[in-house]
Amino acid sequence: MINTAMAVKQDEYNVFTAKLADKCREQGSVLVQLRNNTIVSVKLYEDLEDDDETVHFTSGDYDYSWHLDGSSFKSFNYDIMMMGSNNLLSNRWGDYL
């Protein structure tokens, strides 16, 4: 699935990221492809005990973070562009994982 509705509203889910969030809740983490073709495992950060934090996506190692629309906090090169089954992406990009 491809993220086609990015940057409409950064802090709201779009159709793509709502499905990504559901998969993260079900599986814990999901492999995605970034704009620069990097494959990253993402999870949904929903810990709202800290008033400074909002719901967002993050990589397991916290090197990357994304708004709810999939746009990167750091650079457009890291925007979430595609997701598929973990098997699909790992088979396609297995040499890079």
| pLDDT at residue number 82 | 92
Number of folded domains that form the chain = 1
Model confidence at 65: pLDDT above 60: yes
What is the rounded distance in angstroms from the CA atom of residue 47 to the CA atom of residue 49?
A: 6
pTM attached to this predicted model? 0.79
Q: Is residue 5 part of a domain?
A: no
Q: Is residue 9 part of a domain?
A: no
| 67 confidence band (pLDDT: 50, 70, 90) | very high
Helices (H), the chain: 15-27, 86-93
Look at 2 and 32; give whichever has higher pLDDT: 32
Residue type, 25: R
As a whole number, mean pLDDT of residues 1-22 equals 80
| pLDDT at residue number 59 | 92
Residue 71 structural domain:
15-96
As a whole number, mean pLDDT of residues 5-29 equals 85
